[in-house]
């Protein structure tokens, strides 16, 4: 049995809502996450209690799929913790896509094309998470991300759907924004990835 987007949403939404609150628990948990490195879950024993407290996935999930979920969730938590330093309310369930967020950061912070190209060409989920984190830290302090969707994307990046995820991010990033005289957008460039 594999994990679905709905399984991810049910499992992690409550955790991100809890972490986004201004409480001593959430501040301590986020500070702990900042100390966790971009390494496999089994190399981060401090992350286990935070990861598994109140997280329920359907029974019958294949252990390899559970490991991919754990990795995706931990990486999204680490990216969240770094962004939360700039924005105390970094999580939103109705935020723009990752590609749209990167495009907004491009407009406000200048040329991110080189960093974006490296991100879209990432070869594994850890490399992609590190690249995304560095770009998000350059973004606007009021930017929010739908980290539940990010968990799903990180999970998909470990499957055969990696190219699809990166292409979607790249398409959203490279879309031309409408000008005052135009309400249409130009065709988007597609991102490529190496496997």
pLDDT digits (tens, 9 = 90+) for 85-132: 766 666 666 667 788 878 877 777 767 788 888 888 888 998 999 888
Is 190 among the domain residues?
A: no
Q: What is the mean pLDDT of the chain?
A: 76
Q: Which residue has the higher pLDDT, 156 or 36?
A: 156
Q: Is 132 within the bounds of a domain?
A: yes
How is residue 17 written in tokens? 């809502």
Whether residue 68 lies inside any domain: the answer is: yes
Q: Which domain holds residue 40?
A: 5-174
Report if residue 184 sits inside a domain.
Answer: no
Percentage of the chain modeled with pLDDT above 70: 71
For the chain, count helices (H), then strands (E): 9, 0
Residue 152's pLDDT is 93
Query: pLDDT digits over 149-193, tens only?
Result: 999 999 999 988 788 899 888 888 888 544 344 344 444 444 444
CATH of residue 170 = 1.10.520.40
Determine, yes or no, domain membership for 180: no
Closest by CA position to 144, among listed 96, 81, 74, 73: 96
Which two three-digit tokens encode residue 130? 């590190």
Positive or negative: CA dihedral 164, 165, 166, 167: positive
Identify the band that residue 51 occupies on the pLDDT scale cut at 50, 70 and 90: low
pLDDT for 62: 87
Pick from 150, 117, 152, 123: nearest CA to 135 = 117
Angstrom distance (rounded) from CA 36 to CA 41? 10
User: Which one, of 160, 163, 154, 100, lies nearest residue 131 by Cα?
Assistant: 154
188 inside domain = no
* Residue 103 within any structural domain of the chain: yes
- Look at the chain and report how many structural domains it folds into: 1
């Amino acid at each position: 049995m594999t994990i679905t987007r709905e399984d991810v949403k049910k499992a992690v939404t409550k955790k991100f809502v809890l972490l986004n609150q201004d409480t001593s628990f959430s501040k301590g948990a986020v500070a702990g996450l900042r100390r966790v490195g971009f390494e496999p879950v089994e190399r981060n024993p401090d992350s286990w209690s935070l990861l598994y407290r109140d997280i329920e996935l359907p029974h019958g999930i294949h252990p390899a799929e559970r490991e991919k979920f754990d990795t995706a969730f931990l990486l999204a938590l680490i990216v969240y913790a770094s962004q939360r330093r700039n924005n105390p309310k970094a999580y939103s369930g109705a935020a723009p896509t990752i590609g749209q967020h990167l495009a907004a950061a491009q407009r406000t912070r200048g040329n991110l094309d080189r960093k974006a190209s490296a991100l879209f060409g990432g070869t594994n989920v850890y490399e992609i998470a590190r690249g995304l984190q560095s770009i998000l830290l350059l973004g606007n302090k009021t930017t929010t991300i739908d980290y539940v969707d990010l968990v799903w994307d990180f999970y998909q990046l470990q499957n055969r759907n990696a190219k699809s995820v990166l292409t979607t991010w790249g398409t959203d990033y490279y879309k031309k924004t409408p000008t005052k005289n135009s309400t249409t957008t130009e065709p988007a460039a597609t991102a490529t990835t190496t496997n």
